[in-house]
Amino acid sequence: MAVGQDDHNQRRIIEYLEPFRVRVRLIPGIHELVSGRMSLANLRDVGIEDLLGRDQVEPLPYLLGRSVATRSVMVTGAGGSIGSELCRQILRQRPQLLVLLDQSEFGLYEIHRELSALANDEDLPSPLITVLGSVTEPGLLQRTLSRYQIETIYHAAAYKHVSLVENNVIQGLKNNTFGTLYTAQAAMACGVKDFILISTDKAVRTTSVMGASKRMAELILQALQAEGDSTRFSMVRFGNVLGSSGSVVPLFAEQIDNGGPVTVTHPEVTRYFMSIPEAAELVLQAASMAQGGDIFLLDMGEPVRILDLAHRMIGLKGFAVASNAPHDGEISIEITGLKPGEKMHEELLVMGNVTGTDHPKIMRAEENYLPWRELRGALNTLEQACDTFDYAAIKTFIEGLVEGASLESQLGDLSPRAEIVHLPKAE
Q: Domain for residue 259, yes or no?
A: no
Residue 143: the pLDDT is: 98
Residue 334: the pLDDT is: 92
* One domain, residues 285 and 395: yes
Residue 33 domain boundaries = 2-46
* One domain, residues 104 and 186: yes
Q: Domain for residue 54, yes or no?
A: no
Average of per-residue pLDDT values in the chain: 84
Nearest in space to 58 (alpha carbons), one of 416, 361, 412, 384: 361
- The residues with which 3 forms a beta bridge, in sequence order, are 26
Residue 315: the pLDDT is: 83
Cβ distance 343 to 306 under 8 Å? no
pLDDT reading at 425 higher than 50: no
Minimum mean pLDDT among 30-34, 173-177, 245-249, 357-361: which range? Answer: 30-34
Residue 179: the pLDDT is: 98
Give residue 424's pLDDT band: very low, low, confident or very high (50, 70, 90): very low
- The C-alpha atoms of residue 52 and residue 72 are separated, in whole angstroms, by 36
Q: Domain for residue 282, yes or no?
A: yes
Minimum mean pLDDT among 176-180, 366-370, 418-422: which range? Answer: 418-422
Give residue 165's pLDDT band: very low, low, confident or very high (50, 70, 90): very high
Q: Domain for residue 120, yes or no?
A: yes
* One domain, residues 168 and 94: yes
Model pLDDT for residues 209-230, shown as the tens digit of each residue: 999 999 999 999 999 999 877 8
- The C-alpha atoms of residue 93 and residue 149 are separated, in whole angstroms, by 18
* One domain, residues 97 and 33: no
Give 55's contacts (C-beta < 8 A, 6+ positions apart). none
Residue 414: the pLDDT is: 44
The dihedral of CA 314, 315, 319, 325: what is its sign? positive
pLDDT reading at 421 higher than 50: no
Percentage above 70 pLDDT, the chain? 83
The torsion defined by the Cα of 296, 302, 306 and 308, in degrees rounded to 10, comes to: -170
Which class for 238: exposed (0-12), middle (13-18), buried (19 or more C-beta within 10 A)? buried
Residue 298: the pLDDT is: 87
Q: Domain for residue 218, yes or no?
A: yes
pLDDT reading at 427 higher than 50: no
The torsion defined by the Cα of 105, 131, 84 and 110, in degrees rounded to 10, comes to: -40
DSSP secondary structure letters along 100-154:
EEES-HHHHHHHHHHHHHHHHHTT----EEEEE--TT-HHHHHHHHHHTT--EEE
Read off the pLDDT of each residue in 364-380 and give the average, rounded to a whole number. Answer: 90
Domain with residue 177: its CATH number is 3.40.50.720
Residue 389: the pLDDT is: 94
Read off the pLDDT of each residue in 303-322 and give the average, rounded to a whole number. Answer: 85
* One domain, residues 407 and 369: yes
Cβ distance 256 to 321 under 8 Å? no
Q: Domain for residue 83, yes or no?
A: yes
* One domain, residues 95 and 163: yes
Cβ distance 159 to 180 under 8 Å? no
Residue 118: the pLDDT is: 94
Work out how many domains the chain is built from and give that number.
2
Model pLDDT for residues 229-276, shown as the tens digit of each residue: 789 999 999 887 776 666 788 888 889 989 989 999 899 988 877 888
Q: Which of 32-46, 153-167, 265-279 has the highest mean pLDDT?
A: 153-167
Model pLDDT for residues 48-79, shown as the tens digit of each residue: 666 665 666 778 888 999 999 999 999 999 99
* One domain, residues 78 and 216: yes
Percentage above 90 pLDDT, the chain? 48
* One domain, residues 106 and 227: yes
* One domain, residues 32 and 81: no
Residue 33: the pLDDT is: 65
* One domain, residues 240 and 374: yes
Q: Domain for residue 175, yes or no?
A: yes
Task: Give the distance between the most distant pair of CA atoms in the chain.
Answer: 77
* One domain, residues 86 and 175: yes
pLDDT reading at 3 higher than 60: no
Read off the pLDDT of each residue in 288-314 and give the average, rounded to a whole number. Answer: 88
The C-alpha R_g of the chain, in whole angstroms, comes to 23
Cβ distance 76 to 98 under 8 Å? no
Q: Domain for residue 205, yes or no?
A: yes
Catalytic residues: 202
DSSP secondary structure letters along 281-347:
HHHHHHHTT--SSEEEEE---S-EEHHHHHHHHHHHBT--B--SSTT--SB-EEE--PPTT--SS--
* One domain, residues 102 and 245: yes
Give 283's contacts (C-beta < 8 A, 6+ positions apart). 82, 86, 154, 196, 198, 236, 298
Model pLDDT for residues 313-371, shown as the tens digit of each residue: 888 788 888 875 444 568 999 999 988 777 788 776 655 688 888 898 899 988 888 99
pLDDT reading at 12 higher than 90: no
Residue 408: the pLDDT is: 63
